[in-house]
């Protein structure tokens, strides 16, 4: 055998050894969208692939952290994190990659509700249980996932409507208050002009919050929803759409903004237009999420009320997997409860909040 051939055979031989020593499971575990860490495979750990839908909001950051903190080595987990960057296509690719890597569980926070059946059927055929988190999926085949964890977005929308109902009633009943505070109720009998900043179209948070609010609004003939447009759940888009609303409508009484980040953008737009908002302002604001910055803004009187959507869902997921591992049944739907916070009590109510 000549020397060249010997070297080639050696290279092939060494290559085969390297391949054999690698399992199909990944050696690289992404910790978040920015960094990657390398871990040795520990077959005692439960491998979970988590497809997060994006990083669009403060709420999302808190939700990601909650899941990353619960599914840690110390609790028996090894987490593969993937950021879908607001694209269902990316999320489907992530799920397929988890299937290829033979993870033990797949957790998905789905960006939109529809279009999941095919990839979830692939996971089912591979024998990998799927847990849906935060939002829901729309499917006729309930066997495609084992459990879902999140908040009741329809109830959140209703809470926003009920808060406005209560607020307007209280203002009607108040007689000894300043004209400034009466701004909205002075219009009793005349329209209450409402604009809505909606989140990602076809997402559970957009569908549920819109429907819940509309189901209360329908009982009030003088509530006039002037417009509802997509603000993408982001500050930038929220600001852009609010600026457009302010150009289009000269008499906005109430803004319903389906998340805090859009609200932060909208507040900037309102101020830049020379208007005021919140407790003593021209435009009353109802927001959703109740993250830390929203409490700052409630304390400053800029947001009237915030409907809580609790992002701390990691421990529930860990508990569900723990039960499934023991062969126990897991609850099909687990909701994390949320409150309604008001500007007046914001400094008291925020105590102990971690996000």
**Least distance (Å) between residue 309 CB and ligand AHR:** 5
- 121, 122, 123, 125: CA torsion to nearest 10: 80
- What's the sign of the alpha-carbon dihedral 201, 130, 82, 100? negative
237 counts as binding ligand AHR under rule CB under 6 A: no
Residue 218, token pair as written in the block: 């329908």
- Select from 205, 316, 321, 324 the one that contacts ligand AHR (CB under 6 A): 205
Residue with smaller CB distance to ligand AHR, 289 or 349 = 289
Q: Are 273 and 243 in contact (CB under 8 A)?
A: yes
Residue with smaller CB distance to ligand AHR, 57 or 82 = 57
- Select from 289, 306, 308, 349 the one that contacts ligand AHR (CB under 6 A): 289
Q: Which segment (57-65, 217-225, 248-256, 325-333) binds ligand AHR by CB under 6 A?
A: 57-65
349 counts as binding ligand AHR under rule CB under 6 A: no
**Least distance (Å) between residue 317 CB and ligand AHR:** 15
Query: Which three-class secondary structure string do you get for 103-124?
Result: CCEEEECCCCCCCCHHHHHHHH
136 counts as binding ligand AHR under rule CB under 6 A: no
- Select from 47, 60, 157, 285 the one that contacts ligand AHR (CB under 6 A): 60
57 counts as binding ligand AHR under rule CB under 6 A: yes
Q: What is the DSSP letter of 16?
A: H
C-alpha to C-alpha distance for 195 and 205, rounded to whole angstroms: 17
H helical segments located in the chain? 3-21, 58-70, 88-100, 117-125, 153-173, 204-217, 235-248, 260-272, 292-299, 314-325, 346-349
Q: What is the DSSP letter of 219?
A: T
**Least distance (Å) between residue 156 CB and ligand AHR:** 8
Q: Which segment (5-13, 51-59, 267-275, 337-345) binds ligand AHR by CB under 6 A?
A: 51-59
**Least distance (Å) between residue 244 CB and ligand AHR:** 21
- Select from 59, 105, 116, 295 the one that contacts ligand AHR (CB under 6 A): 59
Which residue's entry shows tokens 């004209």? Answer: 179
259 counts as binding ligand AHR under rule CB under 6 A: yes
Which residue's entry shows tokens 């809580």? Answer: 308
**Least distance (Å) between residue 97 CB and ligand AHR:** 23
309 counts as binding ligand AHR under rule CB under 6 A: yes
112 counts as binding ligand AHR under rule CB under 6 A: no
- What's the sign of the alpha-carbon dihedral 108, 259, 140, 158? positive
Residue 309's SS3 state is: coil
**Least distance (Å) between residue 259 CB and ligand AHR:** 4
**Total of chain residues touching ligand AHR, rule CB under 6 A:** 12
C-alpha to C-alpha distance for 309 and 205, rounded to whole angstroms: 10
Binding residues (CB under 6 A) for ligand AHR: these are 56-57, 59-60, 134-135, 205, 233, 259, 288-289, 309
């Amino acid at each position: 055998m000549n020397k060249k051939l010997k070297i080639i055979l050696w290279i092939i031989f060494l290559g085969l050894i390297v391949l054999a020593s690698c399992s199909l499971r990944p050696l690289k575990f992404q910790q978040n969208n920015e960094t990657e860490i390398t871990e040795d495979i520990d077959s005692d750990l439960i491998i979970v692939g988590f497809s997060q839908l994006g990083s669009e909001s403060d709420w999302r950051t808190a939700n990601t952290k909650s899941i990353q903190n619960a599914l840690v080595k110390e609790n028996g987990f090894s987490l593969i994190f993937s950021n879908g960057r607001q694209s269902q296509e990316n999320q489907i690719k992530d799920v397929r990659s988890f299937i290829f890597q033979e993870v033990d569980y797949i957790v998905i926070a789905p960006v939109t509700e529809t279009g999941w059946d095919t990839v979830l059927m692939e996971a089912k055929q591979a024998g990998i249980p799927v847990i849906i988190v935060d939002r829901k999926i729309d499917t006729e085949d309930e066997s495609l996932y084992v459990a879902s964890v999140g908040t009741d977005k329809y109830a959140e929308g209703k809470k926003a409507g009920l808060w406005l109902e209560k607020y307007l009633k209280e203002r009607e009943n108040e007689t000894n208050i300043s004209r400034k505070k009466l701004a909205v109720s002075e219009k009793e009998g005349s329209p209450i002009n409402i604009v809505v900043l909606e989140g990602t179209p076809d997402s559970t948070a957009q569908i549920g919050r819109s429907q819940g609010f509309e189901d209360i609004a329908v009982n009030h003939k003088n509530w006039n929803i002037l417009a509802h447009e997509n603000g993408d759940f982001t500050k930038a888009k929220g600001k852009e759409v609010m600026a457009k609303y302010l150009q289009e409508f000269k008499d906005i009484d109430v803004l319903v903004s389906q998340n805090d980040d859009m609200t932060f953008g909208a507040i900037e737009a309102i101020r830049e237009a020379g208007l005021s908002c919140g407790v003593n302002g021209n435009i009353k604001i109802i927001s959703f999420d109740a993250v830390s910055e929203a409490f700052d803004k409630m304390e400053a009187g800029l947001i009237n009320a915030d409907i809580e959507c609790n992002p701390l869902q990691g421990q529930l997921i860990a508990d569900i997997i723990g039960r499934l591992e023991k062969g126990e049944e897991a609850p099909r739907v687990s909701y994390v409860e949320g409150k309604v916070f008001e500007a007046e009590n914001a400094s008291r109510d925020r105590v102990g909040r971690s996000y």
